[in-house]
Amino acid sequence: MRQELPPPPLPTVDGGFATILADPPWRFANRTGKVAPEHRRLDRYSTMSLDDICALPVDQHTACNAHLYLWVPNALLPEGLTVMESWGFRYVSNIVWAKRRKDGGPDGRGVGFYFRNVTELILFGVKGSLRTLSPARSQVNMIETRKREHSRKPDEQYDLIERCSPGPYLELFARYPRQGWSVWGDEANGNCPPRGRVHKGYTGGAIEADPANWLADDHKPDGSNNPAGE
C-alpha cells in the first residue's frame, strides 16, 4: 500500500475556481466492522477519514459564486452533505450515474448490503449565487454508461460539467490530467498508474442495444443471463 502523506496544497487561481469536481476516497466500514477497501489484497487506493476530507480548505480556493460536483457512495449520503457544507456549498440537486451493460440493461455486478447498487450519485452544490449555464436547461440529471476499472467515474462527466458550469475548473482527487482543468491528487499527474484492476466486461465502450428491450425474458436485471457482462 502507498504511504499516507499529508495532502499537498490545493491549486490556486486568481479569483478562485468557479467549478469543483471531487471524488473523495471515502472510508467506511463493511458489515464485519472492518475498514474497507484498505486490505492489502485489495490495494486499490488510500482512503481518508471524513474529518480529513472536511478539513480540506476548498472554500478558500473557490470563487464567491461557484459550483461543486461531489461524488458520494449511496451508503454515505449524509457524510457527503456534511462535506459539502464544510466546503462552503449548499446542496441543490444531484446527478445519477446509471451503470449499464453492453445491451443497455442495469449492470447488476455492483455491491451493497441492502440492495445491489447499479447507481452512484453526484451531489450538486452551489456557493453564493450561480445559475447553471444555458445548456443545462435541457440537460437531464443522469449519465448512462458502462463501468470501467474500480472506482473510475465516467469520462462523460467532464463534457456535462463543462456545458453546465463555468470555469476555471478544478478536479480534486483526480486520477488523470485533463486539458483545461487544474487537477489535484496523488494520481493526477499521469505518471502514477492508478490502482484498480480492469476486469473483463469493465472496459467501458458503447451501449449497443436499445435499453427499452433489456427487460425481455432473455435480459434479466441481475445480469444472470450474461455472466461476463458482455
Q: Where are the domains of the chain?
A: 17-213
Query: In the CATH scheme, what is the code of domain 17-213?
Result: 3.40.50.150
Mean pLDDT of 94-113: 82
Among residues 48, 34, 111, which one has the least CA distance to residue 74? 111
Q: What is the pLDDT of residues 157-194, one digit of tens each?
A: 999 999 999 999 999 999 889 999 999 987 766 555 55
Amino acid at 135: P
Give the Cα separation of 182 and 112 in Å (integer): 33
Q: What is the pLDDT of residues 104-141, one digit of tens each?
A: 787 777 677 788 888 999 999 999 999 999 999 999 99
Q: Quote the cell numbers at residue 173.
A: 482527487
Residue 139 in contact with residue 165, Cβ under 8 Å? no
For the chain, give the percent of residues with pLDDT over 70.
69
Residue 116 CA from chain centroid, whole number: 18
Q: Is the pLDDT of residue 16 over 60?
A: yes
Q: Say whether 142 sits in a helix, a strand or coil.
A: strand
- Exposed, middle or buried, 216 (CB in 10 Å: 0-12/13-18/19+)? exposed
User: Which pTM was predicted?
Assistant: 0.80
Q: What are phi and psi of 196, to 5 degrees?
A: 120, 110
User: How would you classify the pairing of strands 17-22 and 28-29?
Assistant: unpaired
Give the Cα separation of 106 and 96 in Å (integer): 13
Give the Cα separation of 173 and 60 in Å (integer): 17
Q: Quote the cell numbers at residue 175.
A: 486520477
Partners of 120 in the beta sheet?
Answer: 97
- The C-alpha torsion from 130 through 50 and 82 to 19, rounded to 10°, is 10
Q: Is the pLDDT of residue 73 over 90?
A: yes
Give the Cα separation of 19 and 130 in Å (integer): 10
Give the Cα separation of 76 and 224 in Å (integer): 28
Residues whose CB is less than 8 angstroms from the CB of residue 128 and which lie 6 or more positions away in sequence, other chains included = 63, 64, 65, 66
